[in-house]
């Protein structure tokens, strides 16, 4: 599948892997693909996003916040989900730290579950959604009758997938996914 990828798109995929690796033993997620696309500062994808009113720095910061875990060792999304059912995570952290010292909960990382005969998540280093994004980028290229797959097609794939952390981050940044898709296609047509 990667044979149609341009050098820049290949670099982006490699960078996505590096981003995931930098966070520990994690599969490449859609957010890593987005970070990689954003790293190509001269790319059409970054330009289009800027025109749509969102900067690469802002998106990077938002993704970092999603990945970051707080005093509890749980992410902000976890805290929000718990709030939704009436649990105040901050209060729990405070109680635990009162008894067991600062960072007690953060440092209490459970051991990863051992699954015999299955050492890595099935399907290799890409999450199911990230794989879907790459498939969709291929499909987008075919639909647009492009013979190559560039970073802009990866962005189209991310937008089309629509449900991963990348799409969530874009939506939270105030981006209308359909609008950006439209903008990418316009820019591609203009440069063709």
CA distances (Å), 151 to each of 38, 47, 53, 100, in order? 9, 12, 19, 48
Which helix (H) or strand (E) covers residue 174, if one does? Answer: none
- Is residue 100 a contact point for another protein (CB under 8 A)? yes
Say if residues 16 and 119 touch (Cβ distance below 8 Å): no
Q: What is the DSSP letter of 126?
A: B
Residue closer to another protein, measured from CB, 85 or 190: 85
List 6, 65, 74, 135, residue binding another protein (CB under 8 A): 74
Q: Work out how close the CB of 188 gets to another protein at its nearest, in angstroms, rounded to a whole number.
A: 33
- Rounded CA gap, 33 and 54, in Å? 17
Q: Work out how close the CB of 116 gets to another protein at its nearest, in angstroms, rounded to a whole number.
A: 13
- Which tokens belong to 97? 């730290």
- Is residue 91 a contact point for another protein (CB under 8 A)? no
Q: What is the DSSP letter of 105?
A: T
Residues 31-60 that bind another protein (CB under 8 A): none
CA dihedral 61, 66, 69, 73 (to 10 degrees): 180
- Is residue 1 a contact point for another protein (CB under 8 A)? no
Binding mask 108-127 for another protein (x = CB under 8 A): xxxx----------------
Which region among 50-58, 107-115, 120-128, 132-140 touches another protein (by CB under 8 A)?
A: 107-115
Instruction: List the end-to-end C-alpha distance of the chain, in Å, as a whole number.
Output: 23
Residues contacting another protein: total by CB under 8 A: 22
Give the interface with another protein as residue ranges (CB under 8 A).
72-74, 77-79, 81-82, 84-87, 89, 92, 96, 100, 104-105, 108-111
């Amino acid at each position: 599948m990667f044979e149609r990828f341009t050098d820049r798109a290949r670099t982006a995929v490699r960078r996505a892997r590096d981003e995931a690796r930098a966070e520990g033993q994690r599969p490449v997620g859609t957010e890593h693909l987005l970070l990689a696309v954003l790293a190509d500062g001269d790319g059409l994808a970054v330009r289009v996003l800027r025109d749509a009113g969102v900067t690469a720095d802002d998106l990077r910061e938002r993704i970092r916040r999603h990945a970051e875990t707080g005093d509890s060792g749980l992410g902000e999304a976890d805290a929000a989900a718990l709030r939704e059912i009436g649990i105040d995570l901050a209060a729990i952290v405070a109680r635990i730290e009162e008894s067991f010292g600062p960072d007690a909960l953060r440092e209490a990382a459970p051991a990863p579950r051992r699954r015999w005969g299955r050492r890595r998540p099935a399907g290799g280093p890409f999450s199911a959604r990230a794989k879907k994004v790459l498939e969709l980028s291929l499909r987008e290229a075919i639909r647009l009758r492009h013979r190559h797959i560039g970073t802009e097609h990866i962005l189209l794939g991310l937008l089309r997938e629509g449900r991963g952390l990348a799409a969530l981050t874009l939506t939270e940044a105030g981006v209308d996914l359909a609008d950006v898709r439209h903008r990418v296609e316009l820019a591609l047509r203009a440069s063709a």
